[in-house]
Amino acid sequence: MAILSLSAKSLLNRRATAALTIFTIAISVALVLGVEKVRTEAKASFANTISGTDLIVGARSGSTQLLLYSVFRIGNATNNVSWRSYQKIADHPEVAWTIPMSLGDSHRGFRVLGTTQAYFEHYRFGGKRQLALEQGERFDDLFDAVLGADVARTLGYQLDDPIVVAHGLGREGFSQHDDKPFRVAGILAKTGTPVDRTVHVSLEAIEAIHIDWRSGSKVPGLTVSADEVREMELRPTQITAFLVGLNSRLGAFRVQRFVNEYRGEPLLAILPGVALAELWALMGTAETALAAISICVVAAGLLGMATMLLAGLSERRREMAILRSVGARPAHVAGMLVAESVFLTAAGIVVGVILAYGALLIAQPIVDARFGLFLSISAPSSRDLTVLAAILVAGAIAGLIPAIQAYRRSLADGLVVRN
């Protein structure tokens, strides 16, 4: 206890230097916790985006690319799937349900998804949770739209507000389908997935707004009004991709082989879980790099602390000599320096945890709105506690360097006045 008291008084006497050391360690700890939080939450968010879907089918490309554009709304499809091929696969005896999806349009930076009522009935996320409406109802009329939670919140939409879909995926789109405006019929409850950043309309609506378009551009001189298009028979000719649910998961490989060997057009069927594993394998290098950077930052903080204690030894020669002269043993002096090191590290950890959670609290709504990644604020995990304990031990080890140096110095060395 006497050693701890002396250590506290000594640090209080050098409070400016000690505060800077604590702040340096705190920044290191906050960075480590922040990187770990983003990594785990990103992985959980990706894993929770889709649940209960056995296969994803799209034009033949890469499995990761198909997963990204069909589920995460990232990137574009290399080609579309014909409606005839979709129906052929949907009629397979082992297929229980399908969710067709048509992508390619946007609304003020948010993707527009054309689909059917099967989307609301069969799409699952986060442990087979079903989509729920917070307000309104599903699309019923041809020009009804159901908004994801982030779309409604960011753009300030309410039920029955008009919205205009744009052709293309840019912030403003290439051309506005302003001759056929939609009405907000419903707003989905928050899911923490790309669904929140999606505008949902019917497949027939996608056909309707493109009825006077050919090859991605509006036909000059041809204009079909919203009233006229309501009288037409709107049947999709192609879709971007579709999700498949099977009667039994045991048939997943059979149906996958059937799709991949389909002769009507080049198609690809992927298992969502396998594709997710491949995606994380690709991101493994980035994870390793982030972890390495975090370790280096922590090491730099601890080395800075050790450097501070070593630099202070020359100024504290007389302090050490006086302690030795009143009966303190070399081990007591060394123990005092180790105690100072542990105290500085522990204080840095506490301040670092506070900084990390404060930064998470501030960044949570920003990251959610801009990247669709919901950072939950929860108690430190067992992994976090293990990392913090390791930092504390490393701090104690770093304190051994000046402690050993002080241990080796003799009483006479401290009393000699050097010119």
pLDDT tens profile 309-363: 676 666 666 666 666 555 566 666 667 777 878 888 898 899 999 999 998 888 8
Residue type, 79: N
Q: Average per-residue pLDDT in the chain? A: 83
pLDDT at 325: 59
Cα 128 from Cα 49, distance rounded (Å) = 10
Cα 81 from Cα 373, distance rounded (Å) = 30
Tokens matching residue 182: 């939609």
Task: Give kind and range of the element (H or E) at residue 199.
Answer: strand 198-202
What's the farthest any 2 CA atoms get from each other in the chain?
Answer: 104
Whole-number CA gyration radius for the chain: 31
Residue type, 339: A
pLDDT at 410: 44
pLDDT, tens digit only, all 419 positions of the chain: 555 565 666 666 667 777 888 888 898 888 888 888 877 877 777 777 888 899 999 999 889 999 999 998 888 888 999 999 999 999 999 999 999 999 989 998 899 999 999 999 999 987 788 999 999 999 999 999 999 999 999 999 999 999 999 877 665 545 788 888 999 999 999 888 899 999 999 999 999 888 876 665 666 667 777 788 888 888 889 999 999 999 998 899 999 999 999 999 999 999 998 888 888 777 777 777 777 887 887 888 788 777 776 766 666 666 666 665 555 666 666 677 778 788 888 988 999 999 999 988 888 777 776 666 667 777 888 888 888 898 888 888 887 777 777 666 644 454 454 44
**pTM above threshold 0.85:** no
pLDDT at 11: 63
With the C-alpha atoms ordered 254, 256, 259, 261, is the resulting torsion angle positive or negative?
A: negative
Cα 322 from Cα 411, distance rounded (Å) = 8
pLDDT at 255: 95
pLDDT at 142: 93
Q: 133 burial class (0-12, 13-18, 19+ CB within 10 angstroms)?
A: middle
pLDDT at 272: 92
DSSP letters for 229-293: HHTS----SEESEEEEEES-GGGHHHHHHHHHT-SSS-EEEE-HHHHHHHHHHHTHHHHHHHHHH
pLDDT at 112: 95
Q: How far is CA 112 from CA 26, 150, 320, 341, in A?
A: 44, 13, 72, 57
Count CB-CB contacts under 10 A for residue 122. Answer: 19
Beta strands in 66-190 (DSSP E): 81-82, 95-107, 110-115, 124-125, 129-130, 133-136, 144-147, 162-163, 166-167, 175-176, 182-188
**What SS3 class is residue 322?**
helix
In the chain, where are the structural domains located? 2-46+284-415, 55-270
Return left, alpha or beta for 120; rule: phi > 0 is left, psi -120 to 50 is alpha, else beta. Answer: alpha
pLDDT tens profile 66-110: 999 999 888 888 899 999 999 999 999 999 999 999 998 999 889
